[in-house]
Each structure stands twice: as C-alpha cells, then as structure tokens.
Chain A
Amino acid sequence: MIEGIFVDGLIFSIMVMGVLISYRIMDLADLTCDGTFALGAAVAAVSLKSGMGITVSLLFAFAAGTIGGVVTALIHCRLKVPGLLAGILTMTMLYSVNLRILGGANLPLLNVEKFYTKIPKLLSFLPSEWASLVGTILVALLVKVLFDLFFRMDLGLSIGAMGGNEQVVISQGMNPETLKIIGLGLSNGLIGLSGGLLAQYQGFADANLGTGMAVQGLAAIMIGEFLFSSNKIYLITLRAICGAIIYKALMFFGRKYGYLIGITPNDFKLLTGVLVILSLMIAKARGKASDAGAKKKAIDKAAHQHAEAATGDDNA
C-alpha cells in the first residue's frame, strides 16, 4: 500500500518536474502536458505491443513528448500566440493523435514485458511491489540528477534567465525562441516519459490519461513550495518530488477514506482545483505577512537607532 503511493508519486514527480520547467523556470503556463502525458503513455504502449524493448519504449515516450512541446513552442513563437493558447491548441490536437496511435480509447498491456514486470524479475530477492519501488526511485533519481545538472549548465541557466526576464537573454545575443523550443521540448519530454511509465505501471494506456494533468502538476509544485523555500535548483526539484508524493498520498487517502465524508474520486478534480486556489491564497497571505514583517523590522531598527543616537547625545 505505502509502496504503491510512492511508486505512483514518483512516476508523477517526473511529470511535475516537467511542469516545473514551464511553469516555474520559464514562467510560461503550458497546458500541452494534458496531451503529451497521454501521448507518452500511448507511444510507450504501442512500442511495447510491437515488440520494442522497455528502454526504447520509454525513449520514444520522451521523444514524442518533446515533439509535442516543440509544436507548442513553434505556435507560440512563430505565430506570436500567447503560450496558454498555443498549449491548448496542441493539447486538443493531441487528443485525436492519441486516439489514432492507440487505435481506440485505450490499449491494455497484457502479456507484454513491461518495466514493472521486468524489475521484480531482476530484483527477485525483493517482494514485487518493493522491487517496483526501487526501480521507480532509480528512474526518478536519474531524471532529477540530469535535471539539476542541466539547469546548472550555461544553457539551462539561460533558460532560467529568460523565464525571469526575456530582455536579459536577448541582450546576451541569444534567440529567446530557440530557448523556448528547447525548454518546452524538455518539459514535455519529461511529461511524456512520465506517461510512458504510468502506462507500464497500471498496465494500459488511455486517451484520457492526461486530463487535468496541468492542474495536478501545479498542485504538487505548490504543495512542495510550502515545505521550504530555496533558490537552489537541487532543492527546488527535491521539493517538487516531495510535493508530487504528498499529492498522490492525499489522493490515495481521499479514495480510501473519502467515502466517510461522502467524497468520491469524481470530486478529485474539483478538490485539486480548490487545493491550488488555497495554495495561491496562502502564498499571497504569506507574502503580505513577510512584507509587513520586513516593514516592522525596518521601523524598529530605525527607532532603535534613533533611541541610541538620543542616549548618545545625552552622554555627550
């Protein structure tokens, strides 16, 4: 049970890292992920079905997601359309593409070797659920390490700088369009990879798998941001992963005990949205409080200095 939550959360965390690139690092709300998540699942499922290996299926899922992200970036940059609209366009188009790839609304992965049947065989000394967890941890860790490394590289830093202030990268002679294509490509590549893994974990791919993913990703990022604040990339990814696991745990307990207060899984999308709104409200209140705190501190300090100066005068 507990290992199930972690496997689910860690697979989801790879998607959250993808959303982190677009939403936090590039400061661009990208809704493509609803489409690319299902696309990754579909591509991975079809690859497995046609006898390609597990690694290849995951690489294809990543590549397919990347293409989805690049399409959004091209629509956004070349047609000068807001990123939000570009994402919605790609997402909508991908729904049909996914149905085509799957050849129907869903595709079960029975009797094919998947990541989550292979790993328990490789780690046969562990119970199968725990072996799955170890495998997922390794994949998520690999993604996290590569992610952190990339965003410490000159190219990654430039993408971050563009998110903060586009003029900075223009002034350094970089084409912001190229950076957006790379950033959104990587972001959706990770989202596709996450979809590919999930399809192998739950044993089927579904065209509706991606519905609401953008909002769920945001919820996980915001939960993570309550844990601690930092401007260091390895801590930012760490808290995104923690946020993803906590989100999945919340959903798990919601499913398990929700009936006690009359909540069904049908309500989860509404609850996720409310969670995001609450997070935004708390973040705003916190910002105000820390502003007020800083102001009070400054006033106290000034008053203190003033008092000191006054006593100094007395002594003189």
Chain B
Amino acid sequence: MLKIDHVTKVFYPGTVNEKLAIDDVSLHIRKGEVVCVIGSNGSGKSTLFNLVSGTYPVTSGKIILDGKDVTSSPEYKRAFIIGRIFQDPTKGTAANMSVEDNMITASRKGMRGLKISLNDKKREEFRELLKPIGLENRLKDNVGLLSGGQRQALTLLMTVLSNPKMILLDEHTAALDPGNAATVMALTQKYISQYKLTAVMVTHNMQFAIEYGNRLIMMDEGQIILDVSGEDKQKLTVEKLVEVFKKIKNKEFASDRGLLAI
C-alpha cells in the first residue's frame, strides 16, 4: 500500500538553520494494516506524514503509494488515495459553509463540474450518516458553529465518505477533551473496520498504541527505532516499551515520560 524508500528530509539546507528531520527512513505498510506511530515531540512523525501526503517535497528517496511512484506528484493528486486528519479540528472542514455543503464537497475525489449534486435524496443519506455523531438535525448549520469534538467527528466522516484507500491520522484527538477524544477514537475504530481501511495513526498515548492496531512504530530523531507487529506487539507493555526505548537509544527516558503521557 505504502512504501517509503530511503527517504531523507532536510529543512533549510545550506543555512545555519539546517535540520535533518527525516534520516534515511524506509518503511513498507501493507494493505489493511493499522499502524500506530509513537515518539516524542520533534521526532519526525508529523514530517513523515507531510512527506507522504505531499505537503513537503522529499530531499531524497522515493514514496510509492498503491504501486505508483508519487514522489513528485502534488498533494492534491495523492489525496485520491490518502485521507488525512489533522490535530487541529478546524483544518478538515470549511467553517463558512453548512454541514451539508461540506459533506457534498467531501463526497468524492477530483475536480467538480456544473452539476448540482446536493438534493433531498443526498440530504437523507447524510442525515443517516450523521446520526451516530448526533448531528442529524444540523445539516443547514454552518460548521463554524460546531464544537471541536463535533467538527473532528464530522471531519472523520467526511474523510471516509470519499473512499480513500488509506488514512493518516495525525494526533487527531489531541486537541479534544477526554470525553470527546474517546468518542472520536471509537468512531475512528468503527470506520477503519467498517471500510477496511489501511490506517497510520500518530498518538501520544502509549497504552492505546499498544492495545490498538496490529503494528507499532516508534520514532526518534528522524529515524524508526522500533517496529513491532503481530505476536511481539501483543506482548508489549508500556514498561517494556520504555525499557526498549532506553536500550536502543541508551539515554534517560525521564524527560520524555511526561510528553508521552503514559
């Protein structure tokens, strides 16, 4: 599904601010895998997502999506395969438009023509889809009026609506309160199994990363330092993970302990 082949990303090359953000990373994610990515702030998780979705160009290496080399294709073309959800709930929806207008915009991929797709039949479909997130009576309301949790749930629904083959979730519950975060996460799990999606999820919750998904990747300083799946992953505990991290990096974990919110 996704093949990252010796990808390196250097920001501001040739200046005093030069920073090696991704250091020769190779990764192969197979169809149907649900991968949790953990790592402290600045370890390169978000940069890796940005490289895969095409927000930034890679410095070197190749990205192969669904069998096609997409290394030089722009973000909007890769979006045909990838659905992406950001940490910021305002990034996935257009606040100035109604819920139904947002949904009709999200209902398929690609350039639009001079057709009016939004009709009563569609509205009824949307109402059904919105029931699980409790927004079925707010089709005509502007998205800007919704709460962060509602917006993120709507973003999730909109993302799966256009049938992406793979979804990238970048700490998409981090900006929500615990209650909303749990709701959105449950919804995420439901959609992933319902639409049989390949998913890569960045999370700061180690416990969750261990329990959920069938593969776990840990990043540090732009490298993948741990990659476990299957039985090995089932045997993991938070303590073990911390131990592994210490062993691999041979450094004190205490400062990161807080950041990783154990």
Which A residues have a C-beta under 8 Å from some C-beta of B? 27, 149-150, 152-155, 157-158, 160-165, 167-176, 178, 231
Contact = CB atoms under 8 A, between A and B. Distances in A.
B142 interface: yes
Contacts of B118: 152, 157
A165 B117 CA distance: 21
A65 B97 CA distance: 28
Nearest to B109: A173
B94 A173 contact: no
A236 to B, nearest CB: 11
A136 B197 CA distance: 55
Given A154-B104, A172-B106, A175-B76, 17 more contacts: A155-B112, A157-B97, A157-B105, A158-B112, A160-B101, A161-B101, A165-B93, A165-B95, A170-B79, A171-B106, A172-B105, A173-B77, A173-B80, A173-B111, A175-B74, A175-B111, A231-B97
Contacts of A150: 114
16 contacts: A153-B113, A154-B117, A155-B113, A158-B112, A161-B94, A164-B94, A165-B93, A165-B94, A167-B91, A170-B75, A170-B79, A171-B84, A171-B159, A172-B105, A173-B77, A231-B97
A154 B90 contact: no
B96 interface: yes
Contacts of B14: none
A170 B104 CA distance: 15
B200 to A, nearest CB: 16
B83 interface: yes
B179 interface: no
Contacts of B101: 157, 160-161
Nearest to B85: A171
B35 to A, nearest CB: 20
Given A154-B113, A170-B76, A160 B162 contact: no
B88 to A, nearest CB: 10
A121 to B, nearest CB: 35
Contacts of B91: 165, 167
Contact of A172 (B79, B95, B96): B79
B173 interface: no
- Identify the interface centre among A27, A152, A161, A169: most chain B CB within 10 Å of its CB: A161
Contacts of A231: 96-98, 142
B65 to A, nearest CB: 13
A288 to B, nearest CB: 17
A173 B159 CA distance: 12
Closest A-B pairs by Cβ, 7 of them: A164-B94, A154-B112, A173-B109, A164-B96, A161-B94, A155-B112, A173-B79
Contacts of B108: 172
Contacts of B113: 153-155
B32 interface: no
A160 B95 CA distance: 10
B102 interface: yes
Interface of B: 74-77, 79-80, 83-84, 86, 90-98, 101-102, 104-106, 108-118, 142, 159, 162
Nearest to A163: B96
Given A152-B116, A153-B114, A167-B91, A174 B76 contact: yes
Contacts of B74: 175
B143 to A, nearest CB: 8
Contacts of B114: 150, 153-155
A259 B116 CA distance: 52
B109 A172 contact: yes
Given A153-B116, A176-B76, A169 B142 contact: no
Nearest to B140: A231
Contacts of A175: 74, 76, 111
Given A165-B93, A168-B93, A174 B112 contact: yes
A154 B83 contact: no
A168 B154 CA distance: 12
A154 B97 CA distance: 13
B112 A168 contact: no
Contact of A171 (B92, B97, B104): B92
A158 to B, nearest CB: 5
A168 B76 CA distance: 10
Considering residues A150, A162, A163, A172, which has the most beta carbons from chain B within 10 angstroms of its beta carbon?
Answer: A172
Interface-central residue, B94, B104, B106, by most chain A CB under 10 Å: B94
A168 B111 contact: no
Contacts of B110: 172-174
A167 B116 CA distance: 22
Contact of B104 (A157, A162, A174): A157
A174 B94 CA distance: 15
Contact of A168 (B98, B105, B117, B142): B105
B163 to A, nearest CB: 11
Contacts of B75: 170
A158 B94 CA distance: 10
Contacts of A165: 90-95
Contacts of B102: 161, 168
Nearest to B108: A172
B109 A164 contact: no
Contacts of B117: 154
